[in-house]
Structure 1
Amino acid sequence: MRDLEIVWSPSLWGVRVRSALTSAAVVAVVVLLGAVVMLSLLYRSLYGSVDSPALARITEITGQLGTFAPDELDPVLLTATSHIETVQVFDSDGVLVRGSAGAPSRPLVAVPVSGGVTGLSVQGNSDLRVSARTVRGRSGTFTVLASVSAEPVEDALKDVSLGLALSGPIVVLAAAAATYALVGRSLSSVEAIRARVADIGTLALSQRVPVPAARDEIARLATTMNDMLARVEAGHSAQRRFLADASHELRSPLATLVAGLELAHEHPDAADDALLGSTLLPEAVRMQKLIEDLLTLAAADEHGLVLHPTDVDLDDIAATVVALVRSTCSAQITVRLQPVRMIGDPQALTRVVRNLVDNAVTHARSAVTVTVARTDTTAQVVIDDDGPGIPDADHVRVFDRFVRLQDDRARTSGGTGLGLAIVAEIAAAHHGTVHIGRSPSGGASLEVVVPLRPPQSESPTAI
């Protein structure tokens, strides 16, 4: 039943079969139209060449009848030749006055009133074609008829028609076979790509599909597939690094909490305020912050950050963040705040400023400058520090997850490596950008530029 369904359902036919049948149909139509046109032109040409001797003979006879009587006509003009079969000359009463040897006494065809006809077939003898002309001469009105044999023309047309009838199907079948073979050859490259992709597993993402030598659509498909595999490999590697880094970052605070809880469980008298306040609580907060950062990035990867935009004063956010950080750091923080009112998510923007300030304080030697400014269309937050700065080669890499320029993983040397990644995600969600440069004091300068209002194509209540 399945085989019958495939046979009677063109939509289930393969590409090779559909291509071959389509090619055959197109070639068949072209061959048929070409045969009709060619036979039509050949018909006119051959019959025109056959009728021309008869018309020439009639012209000569009618020319003499204009001057001479029928009895005075040149006998040569009435003689049958290899081209002329019969010649007849009738008077106005329909009486045969002159004719070639063996010519019948009645006209071979009925001459119309107009007195002129070319290439009429004789009833009962389709091999003869008759042309006739009526002329008014010195001795009266006469009608001259001349017949020629059309058999050679008919034979030629039959031969040509037979040749077209035999060669047409051959051409159609050859076109279908060639199309079937060429499409099959092209699809062999596709099959090679499919087989290679089927063999590629999660442990062999470095493999690539073969690219045909011809620079055609199949080659572009293979190149695109290789580019996609490269992106998948990079994403898979990034995911594995992400899981490894997340596990590493969570292991340390979790181990500290477990050790502290076990100590408190076995030695309740040791669970004093110092243990809780200086060890367990900071580690719990650190792990909480890390988990929140991971959830934020996971949400951004899945469907983008969900923001809750409203009118917000960016300078107030910066002032609040600086006031909180000043109480816990030794660096001198200088603020240059210009009133900036914009549409954005206040919590997300607060997180951007806090992450940037924390990053600057961590790496600064003694001074950090926080600048908030605006242009006609954008808001700008610039954080400068006098630390070692960020090498040019790492300006893009520092926005990757768990990237820290320090070789160690100490808690005091750069955090978890997620702060700048979250800044980049939030800035992108606000249709903004993050730039890294060098501050006037020689350290790093991080600048966030976001539009004051979301693009016109988006709702003002959702970013």
Structure 2
Amino acid sequence: MNNAPVWLTPSRWGLALRSALSAGAVVAVALVLGAAALLFVLDRTLLSALDDAATGRAADLTVGLRTDPPADLDSELFDTDQRIALVQVVDTVGAVVRSSQDDLGLPVTGVHPPVGGAPVRGLVSHETGGADLRTTVQGAHGVGGDYTVIVAASEESVEATLATVGGLVAAGAPVIALVAAGVTYKLVRRSLGSVERIRTQVAAISTTDLGERVPVPRPRDEIAALARTMNDMLGRIQAGHAAQRRFIADASHELRSPLATLTTALDVADARPEVLNRDLVRGTLRPETTRMQLLVDDLVLLARADELGLPLRVADVDLDDIVDTEVRRSRADTTVTVTAALTPVRIRGDAAQLSRAVRNLVDNAVRFAATTVSIEVSRSGHQARVTVDDDGPGIPESDRARVFERFVRLDSARSRAHGGSGLGLAIVAEIVSAHRGSVRIDTAEHGGTRVVVTLPVEEGCPESRS
């Protein structure tokens, strides 16, 4: 368990504070590296300028020695300033014959480059009171012999300039880093203000009022995208919650009717035991029990499909055999004429689930047909097709997508004798979707309803049974 104070635990700091400290540290490191590079370049530049000044003075002295002896050279050539600190002319035996100082002294360097050669630059000497002198030495041929011209420049000005710039950077860098940290903190806090408003609004939204939405900031940035995404998610949650409430209400309503019938029949049988005979059992109790069992099975299937997807036991399935079985079953239970045109088609699928889908389609068509139901199984390329036609009242085009929703019964078929539970086509849609197929409703040739189910035929599935 971590008992350290919050201010000693960086992981517990707020995002704004961590961002501000990170920005300040990055800026500080960048300033340190930039200052180091700046001072290095400035040092090289200033030293190069010193060498250029010393080289220019040495060249002037070399030119003067060609016509005048050292003692007659212009005194301006031996003047000193902030750059030039010492000028010496040395003869061939190493003695200083003229200097910018009253005391001729000794040469500040023992280097003697050849006459006519390139000057030697950048020699460092510590001869004058410990101060660094940067010397340029050049050989010269003059009146009375050969000489060595030595011009020394002081590095004090360079050091002073570097110290000034370094001091300014050292004083300004912390201020700049603090300003960067402060600005970052303010900007992050301002951005997080929108996030906090979104969080507060989401926290205030309850399951009883999912119609509220979070505020969307005006700038089209990531925070606005987050708010729009959150509102979309809330919309989906609201739609799902509403669908769940409708589902529960509809399921309760559908189950209430058979339960009420069973309860009434049992109450009558309890009050009058003599009426509990085979007719009551076969005419009332068993049909209502069967109806409630089928409804519960449908609800369990749809709930399982919503949670984990519809489980399938996939195998080779003869689609025409499934349809033929359901056609024979329907012919035994109805007076409607049921015709079938079956082309042998084999697909990969769950035989039990496909049988259930076909049964729902056939029962639905028989329920609404006036006289005839026509069923066809065909294959086109890599698609198998099951077409179910009836000559009933048909389905309006505006309702053809809605009938695949759960507990949907059109107004013209609200009675329980015709409308069923409103789950048949919803189950068909779930089963077909689980088989990677599609289902749609069209108008039949005689004006009734046509339901077309399309299922994929995988490679290797024969068109006919062997």
Normalising by the residue count of structure 2, what TM-score does the alignment of the two structures yield?
0.91
Query: Which deviations, in whole Å up to 9, do the C-alpha atoms of 1:93-114 show, x marking residues without a partner?
Result: 2101122242532123443768
8 Å CA contact retained: 1:87, 1:103: no
Partner of 1:65: 65
Distance 1:79 1:349, change over 3 A: closer
How far did 1:66 drift?
4.6
**Equivalent of 1:293 in 298, 303, 308:** 298
8 Å CA contact retained: 2:442, 2:451: yes
Query: Which deviations, in whole Å up to 9, do the C-alpha atoms of 1:366-410 show, x marking residues without a partner?
Result: 222111112332221111122222222222221111011126742
Q: Which one-letter code corresponds to 2:341 in the other structure?
A: R
Bigger shift: residues 184-193 or 111-120: 111-120
Partner of 1:439: 444
Partner of 2:231: 226
Query: Which deviations, in whole Å up to 9, do the C-alpha atoms of 1:306-354 show, x marking residues without a partner?
Result: 1112221110110110111112223222211100111211110001101
Distance 1:33 1:110, change over 3 A: farther
Distance 1:107 1:100, change over 3 A: same
Partner of 2:13: 13
Partner of 1:27: 27
Distance 1:322 1:122, change over 3 A: same
* Structural mapping, 1:83-94, within 5 Å: 83-94=83-94
How far did 1:9 drift?
3.5
Q: Which one-letter code corresponds to 2:328 in the other structure?
A: A
Bigger shift: residues 55-64 or 281-290: 55-64
Partner of 1:459: none
Whole-Å separation in 2 of the counterparts to 1:296 and 1:82 = 98
Question: In structure 1, the residue corresponding to 2:150 is in which secondary structure?
Answer: strand
Q: Does 1:328 align with 2:333?
A: yes
Partner of 2:315: 310
Provide structure 2 residue ranges, at least 5 long, that are not aligned to the other structure.
461-466
Whole-Å separation in 2 of the counterparts to 1:175 and 1:407 = 72
* Structural mapping, 1:233-312, within 5 Å: 233-312=238-317
Distance 1:140 1:389, change over 3 A: farther
**Equivalent of 1:148 in 140, 149, 153:** 153
Aligned residues: 455
8 Å CA contact retained: 2:113, 2:148: no
Bigger shift: residues 131-140 or 33-42: 131-140
Distance 1:275 1:95, change over 3 A: same
**Equivalent of 2:124 in 116, 120, 126:** 120
Whole-Å separation in 2 of the counterparts to 1:173 and 1:130 = 44
Q: Please tell me the root mean square deviation across aligned C-alpha atoms, in Å.
A: 2.3
Question: In structure 1, the residue corresponding to 2:339 is in which secondary structure?
Answer: strand
Whole-Å separation in 2 of the counterparts to 1:341 and 1:355 = 21
Distance 1:179 1:81, change over 3 A: closer
Provide structure 1 residue ranges, at least 5 long, that are not aligned to the other structure.
456-463
Whole-Å separation in 2 of the counterparts to 1:360 and 1:274 = 29
Partner of 1:341: 346
Whole-Å separation in 2 of the counterparts to 1:209 and 1:82 = 71
Whole-Å separation in 2 of the counterparts to 1:126 and 1:391 = 105
How far did 1:137 drift?
4.8
Q: Which one-letter code corresponds to 1:321 in the other structure?
A: E
Partner of 1:373: 378
8 Å CA contact retained: 1:118, 1:132: no
Whole-Å separation in 2 of the counterparts to 1:378 and 1:408 = 33
How far did 1:185 drift?
1.0
Distance 1:447 1:185, change over 3 A: same
Percent identity of the aligned residues? 47
Bigger shift: residues 53-62 or 9-18: 9-18
**Equivalent of 2:402 in 397, 404, 428:** 397
Partner of 2:360: 355
Partner of 1:49: 49
Normalising by the residue count of structure 1, what TM-score does the alignment of the two structures yield?
0.92
